[in-house]
Structures are given as structure tokens and as C-alpha cells.
Amino acid sequence: MTSDVHVVIPARYASSRLPAKPLVDLGGQPLVQRTYRRAQQSGFSTLVAVDDERIAKAVRRFGGELLLTPPDLPSGTDRAAYVATELGWSDDDIVINLQVDEPFFPPAHLVALAAALRSDSHHAICTLACPLDDPVEIADENCVKVVCTLDGSALYFSRAPIPWKRGGMGPAPKGVLRHIGVYAYRVRALRRLCELEPSPAELTESLEQLRALENRLSIRVIVADDVPPRGIDVEADLQRAREFLAQASEQD
């Protein structure tokens, strides 16, 4: 196990779109257990940052590592920073913030994020994106897009279609990237980000990563060839995940 890389899974009980999300059943196991076991396959230490004793009880039941965090922390990023401080992780350690609603996230992508950040002295944060050519998804405000420099630094994230093709007609422009919301941080950058006030673009777009860019915390973007399955945000996503899991079980 790599001792300087830690996967933190923030798990919040009071999800507005899917109540008690970490505890919903997915193939006979709570969602938090599915995500935890998947993350463990990366070989990194894995911990759930919980805000409610009901989630803590579920994590203890399957033998997972956890830390209770204050319920008033505003985001999963703040929970990850709280964990890093409470456990005394080094400023140079790497924290991967994996959302609890990503039970099928490829462990290889977690390894790639950590490796990219470890070998990079310029960026303090690393995230993922994948090619996007579906005009419907490009126009969907729930599908976040990212534009990068030629060497892979994020220029801007947006819910709007970017880059915008002049005239707005015809096929989707080439090179559109869909952001995949999993981040690797050096601990010092994670703490710094959580110390900063929400920024103007962040508040406009409701995208926390813009706070980093507006404060000159550079973000490296790795383009993944394969697209991870969608996370579970609403009931329809949960049903789709159950069908995906059932199909995978039939193929085994």
C-alpha cells in the first residue's frame, strides 16, 4: 500500500436529490460499501469522511475505515481537508477526493491521478476529463465541460458549451472535453483551497473548482480514453446502476 496517497470518500447523509444516498441499496450492499471496496482496489489507503452516525454504523459493519466530521462543513472538499488535518497528513501527501456516488469508478484512474500529480511540480491539483461529442450532453448544464491549454492545464470549467463554435450550427466542435469530478490534491493545496472564500465565477457557475483557478491554483487535466460510468445523483441514476450491476453479475 502506498503510504503517501489517501483516498477520502466524503459521505453526507442529507442529500437533497437522493435522501440518505450513502446508504441506498445497490446489489445487496449500501452504496458507500460499493464505492469503498472499489477504491480499495487502487492499493491506496481508503477512508470515509462521514457526517452522520448512521453512515458511520454502516461503514463499521463492513469493516471500513472512517472519520466523523462536523455536519456543518459546506462541501466534500472541506471534509477531505478536515480529515487531512485531523490525521496529520504531510503537506506533500496526496489526497484523492472520490465522491460516494461513484461505485464503478475505475481504480486505474485513481492510480493515474496520483502518478500524474506525484511527477508534477507545477500543478497542485489534478483531475480527469474525457472526449465528448454528443450535442445533447454538450448543451446539458449538468454536464460540466473543461477547456485546457495544449499541455493539459485547465483554463476554464463551465456548464455552458465550451469551446463555443462560432455560428452555433452544424456538428459538435472537435476537442470538447467532459469533466469527470474526481480530484487529486497535494495536502497543502487542499488546505489552501478550503481557506479561500468562494470566488465570483464559482458562485455564478456553482463549480467549486473555479475557486482554484481564480486564485491561481493550477489544475492539471488528464484525458481518459475510457469513460467511467455516470455517478448516482438521482433515483434514475440509481436504477441504471442497479441494472448495470445485474448485467455485470450475469456475465460473470
Task: Verify cis geometry, omega within 30 degrees of 0, for the bond prior to 163.
Answer: yes
* Contacts made by residues 202-207, CB under 8 angstroms, sequence distance 24+: 205/157, 205/158, 205/159, 206/159, 207/144, 207/157, 207/158, 207/159
pLDDT of residue 15: 81
The Cα diameter of the chain in Å comes to 56
Nearest to 96 by CA among 197, 213, 189, 231: 189
pLDDT of residue 117: 96
CATH code assigned to 2-227: 3.90.550.10
Of 5-14, 157-166, 211-220, the least confident: 157-166
pLDDT of residue 1: 56
pLDDT class for 252, splitting at 50, 70, 90?
low
One-letter amino acid for residue 6 of the chain: H
pLDDT of residue 217: 96
pLDDT of residue 84 exceeding 60, the answer is yes
The backbone torsions φ and ψ at residue 4, rounded to the nearest 5 degrees and listed phi first, read: -100, 5
Residue identified by cell 452504496 is: 31
The burial class, CB within 10 Å (0-12 / 13-18 / 19+), for 31 is buried
pLDDT of residue 131: 93
pLDDT of residue 40 exceeding 70, the answer is yes
Secondary structure letter of residue 213 according to DSSP: H
Rounded CA separation 231/189 (Å): 25
pLDDT of residue 166: 78
Please tell me the pTM assigned to this model: 0.93
pLDDT of residue 169: 60
Of 31-45, 167-181, 214-228, the least confident: 167-181
pLDDT of residue 72 exceeding 90, the answer is yes
